Chains A and B, each alone.
Chain A
Amino acid sequence: MDFKDYYKTLGLEPGADDKAVKAAYRKLARKYHPDVSKEKDAENKFKEVAEAYEVLKSAEKRAEYDELRQFAKQGRPFEPPSGWHSQAHAGFADGMDGDSEFSDFFESLFGAAGRSHRGGRSGARRGQDVEMELALLLEETLADETKTIAFQLPQYSPDGHPLPALNKTLNVKIPRGVSNGERIRLKGQGAPGLGGGANGDLYLIIRFVPHPLFDVEGHNLILTVPLAPWEAVLGGQVTVPTLTGKINLRIPANTQSGQRLRIKGKGLFSKSGEPGDLYALFKIVIPPQTDEPARALWAQLAEQAAFNPRAQWSQ
């Protein structure tokens, strides 16, 4: 076990006063709070910060810690001196939501008193609600889809100690027309209750997997359709993919790059079962290479087509 330098965790000098401890905690908590932060590894960093603050904010715990700190040599495994036992068990983690799990180092100093906070009281306790993200392909939202999901549930012994997580798998029916970010509740599939308490619920948060071809806009889809210059000018038929198969699309003459064409009913479904639309968004591309005869034809066109694409600049 390594000695944890709580002052360093909060970026403080050992002599820092209570005000400085509080200010440092607040600043780092805002930075790393998992509900706020996009930092990598925010959750673990927040736990470290919370643990450091738990000790340094309390005069009693801080005094004990400071005393122990003198025994600790940097870079050497840490053992609490024999006969060491904490005086400061009472009042642990008040105001926290009881989920905090502090390090072995912390527990070797102050005991696991906080754990009893969670489940130690007698009587039935409802299990925790659990959230997980479920990646869904766009194709999978078009019909009621059965997915097999695997997840882990936190477990606690009757006296409130954490047990190894419980692995579960479940077949879930995802209703047609779910939307990105939607929460689906599976009643009673969360963490098991204690002492006869009800199970928690499992919430699935739907996340659409980005599609290589289609972009999602509400219940509509956008497909970028490349056109050759002559297809754009002359119009004609092109075959385009939809989520459910290929269709033929009539391109009107003189189609511009960036222009959209609506293909009714080929989008995603809404909750009420109405299908959204698919929009073909045109993008004009030119051949990567041009041989001499083709170049001559383009040159002829350039001469005849008195067209200035930048006319609006000269106004």
Chain B
Amino acid sequence: MNSLIMQLDIHEFCQRAGLSQTVVLEIVEHGIVEPTGLTPDQWQFDADALAIVKRAFRLQAELQIEWAGIALALQLLDELEQLRADNSHLRRRLSRFEQP
């Protein structure tokens, strides 16, 4: 199980994400990802955070949105995804009760 859990410090994280430390600091300031640890030196990021910052950076570069907008967009997209999943789940359950 341990091999599945990835913890990266800020240097490794920046390298993996292909982003500068300045950009990562800004992303964290906007609460787009929340590393554990109090100071940037102690920060630890997991694999989900890596996927999130990559997505955030793509949106920032390609849609030309500032970070506050990205934070909001990502939050709304997550909620949308959750609602879509709930919706299809409930539809499936409803279809078991309804006559075709």
Question: Which residues of A line the B interface, CB within 8 A?
Answer: 26, 29-30, 33, 35-36, 46, 50, 95-97, 126, 129, 131, 175, 183-185, 187, 203, 210, 215-217, 222, 224, 283
- Given A36-B73, A97-B18: A183 and B61 interface contact (C-beta under 8 Å): no
Collect the chain A residues with CB atoms within 8 Å of residue B93's CB. Answer: 215, 222, 224
Collect the chain B residues with CB atoms within 8 Å of residue A46's CB. Answer: 62
Collect the chain B residues with CB atoms within 8 Å of residue A50's CB. Answer: 62
Give 7 A-B contacts (CB < 8 Å), ordered by A residue: A36-B73, A50-B62, A183-B47, A183-B51, A185-B3, A215-B89, A283-B96
Q: How far is the CA of A126 from the CA of B18 in the complex (A)?
A: 10
**B92 with A215: CB separation less than 8 A:** yes
Q: How far is the CA of A78 from the CA of B92 in the complex (A)?
A: 51
Q: Known pairs A29-B62, A29-B64, A95-B61. 6 more at Cβ < 8 A?
A: A50-B62, A96-B62, A131-B51, A175-B4, A184-B4, A203-B51
Q: How far is the CA of A224 from the CA of B94 in the complex (A)?
A: 10
Q: How far is the CB of B51 from chain A (nearest CB, A)?
A: 7
Which listed residue (A30, A35, A129, A187) contacts B58, Cβ 8 A?
A35
In B23-76, which residues have CB < 8 Å from any A CB? 47-48, 50-51, 55, 57-59, 61-64, 73
**B63 with A29: CB separation less than 8 A:** yes
Q: How far is the CA of A46 from the CA of B1 in the complex (A)?
A: 38
Question: Which residues of B line the A interface, CB within 8 A?
Answer: 1, 3-4, 6, 15-16, 18, 47-48, 50-51, 55, 57-59, 61-64, 73, 77, 89, 92-93, 96-97
**B59 with A210: CB separation less than 8 A:** no
- Given A35-B55, A210-B92: A187 and B61 interface contact (C-beta under 8 Å): no
**B96 with A175: CB separation less than 8 A:** no
**B48 with A224: CB separation less than 8 A:** no
Which listed residue (A97, A224, A283) contacts B57, Cβ 8 A?
A97
Q: How far is the CA of A96 from the CA of B92 in the complex (A)?
A: 41
- Given A185-B4, A187-B3: A97 and B47 interface contact (C-beta under 8 Å): no
Which listed residue (A185, A216, A224) contacts B47, Cβ 8 A?
A185
Collect the chain B residues with CB atoms within 8 Å of residue A217's CB. Answer: 89
Q: How far is the CB of B46 from chain A (nearest CB, A)?
A: 10
Collect the chain A residues with CB atoms within 8 Å of residue B58's CB. Answer: 33, 35, 97
Chain A residue nearest to B17 (CB atoms) is A129
**B59 with A33: CB separation less than 8 A:** yes
Q: How far is the CA of A134 from the CA of B30 in the complex (A)?
A: 32
Chain A residue nearest to B18 (CB atoms) is A97
Q: How far is the CA of A98 from the CA of B55 in the complex (A)?
A: 14
**A35 with B57: CB separation less than 8 A:** no
Q: How far is the CA of A71 from the CA of B32 in the complex (A)?
A: 48
**A33 with B62: CB separation less than 8 A:** yes
Q: How far is the CB of A126 from chain B (nearest CB, A)?
A: 8
Q: How far is the CA of A7 from the CA of B1 in the complex (A)?
A: 52
Collect the chain B residues with CB atoms within 8 Å of residue A175's CB. Answer: 1, 4
**A36 with B51: CB separation less than 8 A:** no
**B3 with A30: CB separation less than 8 A:** no
Q: How far is the CA of A129 from the CA of B48 in the complex (A)?
A: 13
Q: How far is the CB of B50 from chain A (nearest CB, A)?
A: 8
Collect the chain B residues with CB atoms within 8 Å of residue A129's CB. Answer: 16, 50
Collect the chain A residues with CB atoms within 8 Å of residue B73's CB. Answer: 36
**B51 with A26: CB separation less than 8 A:** no
Collect the chain A residues with CB atoms within 8 Å of residue B16's CB. Answer: 126, 129
Q: How far is the CA of A301 from the CA of B97 in the complex (A)?
A: 25
Q: How far is the CB of B95 from chain A (nearest CB, A)?
A: 10
**A26 with B63: CB separation less than 8 A:** yes
**A203 with B64: CB separation less than 8 A:** no
Q: How far is the CB of B18 from chain A (nearest CB, A)?
A: 7
**A97 with B63: CB separation less than 8 A:** no
Collect the chain B residues with CB atoms within 8 Å of residue A216's CB. Answer: 89
> Residue among B55, B58, B73, B92 with the most chain A CB within 10 A?
B58
